[in-house]
Amino acid sequence: MPRWMALNYDHPIEIVSGSGSRITDADGNTYLDFFCGILTNMLGYDVPEVREAVQRQLAKGVVHTSTLYLIRSQVELAEKISRLSGIDGAKVFFTNSGTEANETALLLATAARRSSQVLALRNSYHGRSFGAVAITGNASWRSSQLAPFSVHYVHGTDRELPAFAGMSDAEYITAAVADLRHVLTTAAAARDVACLIAEPIQGVGGFTMPPDGLLRAYKEVLDSHGILLISDEVQTGWGRTGEHFWGISAHGVVPDMMTFAKGLGNGFAIGGVVARGDLMDSVPANGISTFGGNPFATTAANATLDYLLSHDLQRNAATLGSLIIGGLREAAEPLAAVGAVRGKGLMFAVDLVDPVTAAPSAPLAARAMEAARERGLLIGKGGLYGNTLRIAPPMTLTEAEAKEGLGLLTDALRAVDAEAS
Ligand SMILES: Cc1ncc(COP(=O)(O)O)c(C=O)c1O
């Protein structure tokens, strides 16, 4: 297996069973899971409603048919997502992953606009295929410089740069929009740009986010040139941010397309694109996905989405997210090794920094991951400088589990701070 496929922890964990928000490893240790297989076990583990729906489908003897035949669960899921998207006349195409979803969106945008110029955000991550790597704004994930697109990067999540220091949200938005206009006049020929693709909260980038409203301000400029806006909702979709069902709604704008994956199947492989119908239909040749939208994955996804909506898990994400983020901010106050705490709903991050210089510290973040594990809590890591703890518990989290996780994480941060100081 490839060397570039890294494992978490000095002594990696094999997860062998799970229930609710907890998992057990092959050595019999149990953990509270605050990373959910990278935000993918959105409802936690072993949810009866999902398990039973999948078992019923298995019992029918049909896991796969291909899209050459009608798949009832696929049509039903497409109708639900189209309705939830807020996009006029939306159509949905299903894939097996977020990468493929973004590939499809880029295909649609470049076909509709007959252009291979794409705008992306600095510090972005959209997947690991040739096309997705080409729009990656984070050097440590940029595995190739060859590209099927001509890509220009715009600002959005880099407010720590000296040029933007001390700016209010409104001032930063004005500066970033001026930069977009400049890019469209200099690097790119504006009349000939296909799209801007953006994560409302950058996942791999360390849960960094533009100020609310920036993407709407960008869209006003894009609209005047006919340039399309794609929101990559692979991490931010389905109410995880608490305040909205889609991450981009924080900007007060409906994009032309959204891509999704991760949590939708609660672990079963599914992704897709929801797009304006005319864009979805703009591809000038045949297309299929052999596995995309198969009966098995779409059955799991329907059950997951129904559960999420009927239990109002978006509200749970808002309530428990505020509880944990508030608690972390308070706990981090006296800790010199903790730089910033940020996030929305059940998607939040903690930056580790050198206690003396305040420079990003990847070794301290690694140490904090280990310290959390030693205390029975699984979390993630990322960020441009590798110094960010990324935390995303299941959206079914209970208040007791939220408090328990907050306690474990706080304890781990205090221990690392004490060691580092
Ligand atoms: C925002 C975003 N887009 C796309 C992807 C790619 O998804 P996948 O790994 O399912 O191909 C990821 C994966 O982490 C992601 O975070």
Reported as a single tens digit per residue, the pLDDT across 109-128 is 999 999 999 999 999 999 99
Is residue 235 in contact with ligand 1, taking CB distance under 6 Å? Answer: yes
pLDDT tens-place string over residues 360-418: 999 999 999 999 999 999 999 999 999 999 999 999 999 999 999 999 999 999 999 99
Is residue 98 in contact with ligand 1, taking CB distance under 6 Å? Answer: yes
Burial string for 303-324 (b: 16+ CB within 10 Å, else e) reads bbbebbeeeebbebbbebbeeb
Please say if the pLDDT value at position 190 is more than 80. Answer: no
352 pLDDT tier (thresholds 50, 70, 90): very high
Is residue 125 in contact with ligand 1, taking CB distance under 6 Å? Answer: yes
Read off the DSSP letter of residue 189: -
240 pLDDT tier (thresholds 50, 70, 90): very high
CA atoms within 13 A on the CB side of 351: 19
Mean pLDDT score of the chain = 97
The helix or strand, by DSSP H or E, that contains position 405, with its residue range, turns out to be helix 399-420
Closest approach atom of ligand 1 to CA 38: 14
Is residue 40 in contact with ligand 1, taking CB distance under 6 Å? Answer: no
Is residue 104 in contact with ligand 1, taking CB distance under 6 Å? Answer: no
Distance in Å, CA 37 to ligand 1 centroid: 12
What mean pLDDT comes out for the span 10-22? 98
Q: Provide the pLDDT for residue 102.
A: 98
pLDDT tens-place string over residues 129-176: 999 999 999 999 999 999 999 999 999 999 999 999 999 999 999 999
What mean pLDDT comes out for the span 327-356? 98
Please say if the pLDDT value at position 46 is more than 90. Answer: yes
Give the Cα separation of 139 and 84 in Å (integer): 34
Percent of the chain clearing pLDDT 90 (strictly above): 97
Closest approach atom of ligand 1 to CA 127: 6
If one counts every other C-beta atom within 10 angstroms of the C-beta of residue 283, the result is 15
Closest approach atom of ligand 1 to CA 98: 7
Q: Provide the pLDDT for residue 167.
A: 97
Q: Among the listed ranges 79-83, 244-248, 280-284, 414-418, which one has the minimum average pLDDT value?
A: 280-284
Is residue 234 in contact with ligand 1, taking CB distance under 6 Å? Answer: yes
Burial string for 165-185 (b: 16+ CB within 10 Å, else e) reads eeeeeeebbeebbeebeebbe
Under 8 Å between Cβ of 264 and 84: no
What mean pLDDT comes out for the span 53-59? 98
186 pLDDT tier (thresholds 50, 70, 90): confident
191 pLDDT tier (thresholds 50, 70, 90): confident
The helix or strand, by DSSP H or E, that contains position 99, with its residue range, turns out to be helix 98-113
Distance in Å, CA 14 to ligand 1 centroid: 22
Is residue 200 in contact with ligand 1, taking CB distance under 6 Å? Answer: no
Residue 93, token pair as written in the block: 């195409």
Give the Cα separation of 410 and 361 in Å (integer): 18
What mean pLDDT comes out for the span 99-107? 98
Is residue 99 in contact with ligand 1, taking CB distance under 6 Å? Answer: yes
Q: Provide the pLDDT for residue 364.
A: 98
Give the Cα separation of 180 and 267 in Å (integer): 37
Residue 54, token pair as written in the block: 């999948």
Under 8 Å between Cβ of 285 and 87: no
Q: Provide the pLDDT for residue 180.
A: 97
187 pLDDT tier (thresholds 50, 70, 90): confident
**Torsion sign (Cα): 144, 147, 148, 149:** positive
Q: Which residues, in sequence order, are CB contacts of 3 under 8 Å at separation 6+?
A: none
What mean pLDDT comes out for the span 189-213? 94
Q: What is the 3-state secondary structure (H, E, C) of 23-62?
A: EEECCCCEEEECCHHHHCCCCCECCHHHHHHHHHHHHCCC
| Residue 289 exposed, middle or buried by CB count within 10 Å (0-12, 13-18, 19+) | middle
